[in-house]
Structure 1
């Protein structure tokens, strides 16, 4: 692999960073809200699954215990 001197490396990094498309304030806010909604939905889903498993296990243990 060819070695690059530090000056060339910094120039290449600056060129790559210039190509990045940064999100605007509205996009960041919208994405944040979407993530929070999905996290809330996932937590409700796993709570319901946990409740169902716990209820089923309790019922089975009551039958045999």
Structure 2
């Protein structure tokens, strides 16, 4: 059972396929992009504060344990 190899498309066919697929993409509006960027920024700040708090807590615990030694 020999497998048949698929023929590779030419460069022109490839470019046409890429254009066809790109035209199917639903691009976000400017408002959606700005809203998403603001959401990501807020979430990033919240996560930074959370990890700062966790890091500070671990730092305090380690410093306390080092004073016992």
TM-score for the superposition, normalised by structure 1? 0.93
* Greater fraction of residues in helix: 1
Question: After TM superposition, what 4+ stretches of structure 1 lie above 2 angstroms from structure 2?
Answer: none
**Pairwise CA distance, 1:2:** 1.8
Distance between the aligned counterparts of 2:66 and 2:55, measured in 1?
Answer: 16
The answer to whether structure 1 residue 56 and structure 2 residue 65 are counterparts is no
TM-score for the superposition, normalised by structure 2? 0.88
Of residues 17, 22, 31, the one that matches 1:12 is: 17
**Aligned residue-pair number:** 64
Of residues 35, 40, 46, the one that matches 2:40 is: 35
- Point out where structure 2 has 5 or more consecutive residues left out of the alignment: 1-5
Of residues 4, 20, 26, the one that matches 1:21 is: 26
2:3 maps to none
Query: What value does the CA root-mean-square deviation take over the aligned residues?
Result: 0.8
